[in-house]
Structure 1
């Protein structure tokens, strides 16, 4: 009994430093931010810090600006995830075959994902530059464009170009997940299907896709969380512009705090984003469980 208690004490002593760090840099800021959502902490308007209960939530949810940002974020998330899943699955299917130089191809494909976000975002900012960007130079040399244009100069075009930059970076992650799922497939079943005359599309739907369904859910949940929190890509490329065309919820939360000095508004935005992500994740899991049943 004493030996068991001493082992428990030793375990607590070992994890205590990590526990203190987690409480200090994770748990406490979460609690403090949550409390801000119920207070008047708009310093630009002389916020007194008094408790206002649900007023911040009511004000933001009743503001059309929030819903337009939410719609923009949803569009960014859906289009970006669709592009990444389609391209990632196709690349994974290619790499799943025994092709020459597969190891080199996998290494090259992983490079965009390994580059830090701020670096890749800065790189795309130079690529999209309206005067000496690489994209304009390439398209003009191929006679696709007659003159250079501003890729980040109009709202919807800017949002789409941000989506392309995000898809370029995150598609390798989908490739890794899909490739690991494809390794679980039974190749003898494929051979039998070929012998029975099943076409490529039929084999994918009947044999390959069931192996990918669970992994697809993991990818969708992970990418949904990341796309709804996207900030660094928007910060470097557009700062929410032009004309708020790329003002997504994550950047709006940042702007509320660091540009408007509205700490309560920024905190409320953050927790509303967390709530949206939680609801979407719960929906994904329910859909998957229903499909399995």
Structure 2
């Protein structure tokens, strides 16, 4: 009886949250699925159109532009997250050492992460400005460039420049997670390894990396999911250009649904993104469970 009452009480307490989640997420998701099976357009009076089944999905998967957007997104996610992991671990190792000013540097590490993405994107647009940008001025003064260039206006460099801006903002998250994990490693292990003649690299590979691998795997999957859904920094810095060289999947969905007003096809593209994100989340849950069992 007591167990039954606890169960009923728990469900009663959870009911408001479940209702809110279903109202905020469930209903829009159902409508999105419905629209993805139709040819609905935003300019239609009642937002309805002929039922076309999986036609939107077939057209999406056969579209070279959509496949190109998937490639841009994958490139962005792999490079940005990979660089963030490397820089984040290096910064965490540095801030784990004892030196004067360490507390100040730890506090400053939060600043890029605390900046809104739009502000960060605007700041880097000014840095990359082809007429008065700080990056051009620095490279010209150092003799590495003969003249100012348009970093975001060149299809060969635009996406890489956006990646740099994204890395600068998000590597502190990896650094903080790695630093927190490093705090749990007993100092005695390093002292014993040093006495046994282990060098810096041996200590890192045999002690440090295994100790932070679990938290790093969580950071890796979380950042990959966020990077794959990138939209705001692309919208502010390049609007998908030049020549669609920075158009990601999320930007493609926005453009299809709201710029071209093809809600049906835009909904199908969005659901494809959801399915890919769900696969990444499944990988995240698997890593969490695997680390918990270890």
Q: TM-score, normalised by structure 1?
A: 0.90
Equivalent residue number for residue 22 of structure 1: 21
Task: Give CA-to-partner distance per residue, 1:40-91, whole Å, 9 cap, x none.
Answer: 1134799842322211111101111111111111111000011100000000
Task: Give CA-to-partner distance per residue, 1:79-114, whole Å, 9 cap, x none.
Answer: 001110000000000111112221110111110000
Structure 1 residues 177 and 236, CA, compared in 2 at 3 Å: closer, same or farther? same
DSSP-derived class of the 2:109 partner: helix
Aligned residues: 290
DSSP-derived class of the 1:145 partner: coil
Aligned residues of 2:42 and 2:258 also touching (Cα < 8 A): no
Structure 1 residues 173 and 287, CA, compared in 2 at 3 Å: closer, same or farther? closer
Equivalent residue number for residue 157 of structure 1: 157
Structure 1 residues 165 and 6, CA, compared in 2 at 3 Å: closer, same or farther? closer
Work out the CA distance in 1 between the residues paired with 2:95 and 2:126. 31
Aligned residues of 2:95 and 2:102 also touching (Cα < 8 A): yes
Q: TM-score, normalised by structure 2?
A: 0.90
Structure 1 residues 191 and 7, CA, compared in 2 at 3 Å: closer, same or farther? closer
Work out the CA distance in 2 between the residues paired with 1:59 and 1:174. 38
Instruction: Report the RMSD for the aligned CA atoms in angstroms.
Output: 2.7
Structure 1 residues 7 and 78, CA, compared in 2 at 3 Å: closer, same or farther? closer
Equivalent residue number for residue 276 of structure 1: 276
Q: Give the unaligned 5+ runs of structure 1.
A: none
Work out the CA distance in 1 between the residues paired with 2:42 and 2:26. 24
Equivalent residue number for residue 78 of structure 2: 78
Q: Give the unaligned 5+ runs of structure 2.
A: none
Deviation at 1:268, TM superposition (A): 1.3
Equivalent residue number for residue 104 of structure 1: 104
Aligned residues of 1:44 and 1:260 also touching (Cα < 8 A): no
Structure 1 residues 148 and 106, CA, compared in 2 at 3 Å: closer, same or farther? same
Equivalent residue number for residue 135 of structure 1: 135
Equivalent residue number for residue 235 of structure 1: 235
Judge which range, 24-33 or 129-138, deviates more.
24-33
Deviation at 1:147, TM superposition (A): 1.3
Aligned residues of 1:224 and 1:277 also touching (Cα < 8 A): no
Equivalent residue number for residue 51 of structure 1: 51
Equivalent residue number for residue 183 of structure 2: 183
Judge which range, 37-46 or 102-111, deviates more.
37-46
Deviation at 1:235, TM superposition (A): 0.3
Aligned residues of 2:158 and 2:246 also touching (Cα < 8 A): yes
DSSP-derived class of the 2:178 partner: helix
